[in-house]
Amino acid sequence: MKSFCATLIICLLSIGLSLPVSSESAKKGRSPCKLISSSEAISRAKQQSGGGKVVSVKLNANGAESVYRIRILVGEKRIKNLTIKACK
């Protein structure tokens, strides 16, 4: 199970690092942003939640309004859903 979780996190990290900012958002008047890495977003989420195990990471790319949605297992049964701004 641990190897599956590690593989999942590595896959999510590689996806998060390679997603371009949509040119469509620039057409709508939104300024493009420079995305932080998913590992930086995870680090910020763990800081906010007081630690825990990352369950999932998703990037919602929407130009300057891009966010990471991160789920963290806190304790044995509690899941915290956090939103981290993806733009620097």
Q: Could you report the per-residue pLDDT of 37-81, keeping only the tens digit for each?
A: 999 999 999 999 999 999 999 999 988 899 999 999 999 899 999
Q: Is the pTM of this model over 0.85?
A: no
Q: Is 5's pLDDT higher than 90?
A: no
The range of the structural domain enclosing residue 56 comes to: 2-85
The count of structural domains within the chain is 1
Residues 6+ apart with CB under 8 A from 33: 21, 63, 64, 66, 86, 87, 88
pLDDT at 33: 82
Of residues 28 and 58, more confidently modeled: 58
- CB 86, CB 36: distance < 8 Å: yes
